[in-house]
Amino acid sequence: MKRRLDLILRAHNGSIIYEDERIIVIEKPPQFLVLPDRYNQSLPNLYTALKDEFGGIFVVHRIDKETSGVIVFAKDADAHAQLNSQFEHRDIHKNYVAIVVGKPMEADGVIDAPISESPSHPGVMKVNSKHGKPSVTKFSVEELFDGYAFVRAMPESGRLHQIRVHLASIGLPILCDRIYGDGAPFFLSDVKPNYYSEGDEKPLLSRSALHAASITFVHPGTNSEMNFEAELPKDMRSVLNYLRKFRSHNPAMRQLEGSYHHA
């Protein structure tokens, strides 16, 4: 018989990637909360589903509701403490991919820019050199299109919305990001010439195009290094396929030389 946790995840196109007596690694579906919503506790979320399954669970790190991909939870306090220590010492390596709007100036770079919360808009972050906390994100351009790019981002710190606000700060907001971009859904008609539809066109993507692709850490029980990956979800794959077909601009990658450092 399928466990309720499996059924909940599969119903939302998520899954259990790995599980043992100390940890569980989840492929979080997009538009699925990690923690209970403060205003509506009945909304589906990973913490409640895991707590119902195991009687207790420990949150190691978080990813945004709209973001898909790999997330790790600890099943006991000692595993939680060990994984937290790895995060504090930057021994856990996270790898994200994103579809961004705009043209990168360089093929790879480092965004070294402090981040703080906006005093007038709680929950919204901004680059703030005077009052922000140190924040570093490395990035590389995987594919370049006309007006868009597919980017890999490796955060070295763990600030709220770090990748989103850092990429936006260098003129590369994530596609469909409602806070740091224009938030507009992505339609096929945005890139396909002479597009025609008999009915209302449905968007290919309507959430922030950010995916937690992989995570690497040392297992708190065995002390062996472990790496877990999550496949790019269907909505982002669809956008990339159409960008490759109608906005292909890969030869321009040769024009992106050197590194970019933003501080």
Rounded to whole angstroms, how far apart are CA atoms 68 and 204?
16
Confidence band for 3, pLDDT divided at 50, 70 and 90 = confident
Options 3.20.20.10, 3.30.2350.10, 1.20.140.10, 3.40.50.720; which CATH number does 4-262 get? Answer: 3.30.2350.10
Average pLDDT over the chain reads: 92
CB atoms within 10 A of CB 36: 16
Rounded to whole angstroms, how far apart are CA atoms 2 and 231?
23
DSSP state of 193: T
Whether residue 231 has pLDDT greater than 90: yes
Rounded to whole angstroms, how far apart are CA atoms 188 and 166?
27
Q: What is the pLDDT of residue 252?
A: 45
Q: What percent of the chain has pLDDT over 70?
A: 94
Integer angstrom CA distances of residue 114 from 23, 79, 110, 169: 32, 30, 13, 11
Rounded to whole angstroms, how far apart are CA atoms 133 and 117?
10
Q: What is the pLDDT of residue 88?
A: 92
Where are the domains positioned within the chain? 4-262
Confidence band for 196, pLDDT divided at 50, 70 and 90 = confident
Residues taking part in catalysis: 64
pTM score: 0.92
Q: What is the pLDDT of residue 206?
A: 97
Cβ-contact 128, 104 below 8 angstroms: no
DSSP state of 87: H
3-state helix, strand, coil in the chain (%, to 5): 20, 30, 45
**Per-residue pLDDT tens digits for 57-91:** 999 999 999 999 999 999 999 999 999 999 999 99
Whether residue 174 has pLDDT greater than 90: yes
Confidence band for 2, pLDDT divided at 50, 70 and 90 = low
**Per-residue pLDDT tens digits for 111-139:** 999 999 998 898 899 998 788 999 999 99
**Per-residue pLDDT tens digits for 82-95:** 999 999 999 999 99
More confident residue, 4 or 97: 97
More confident residue, 5 or 102: 102
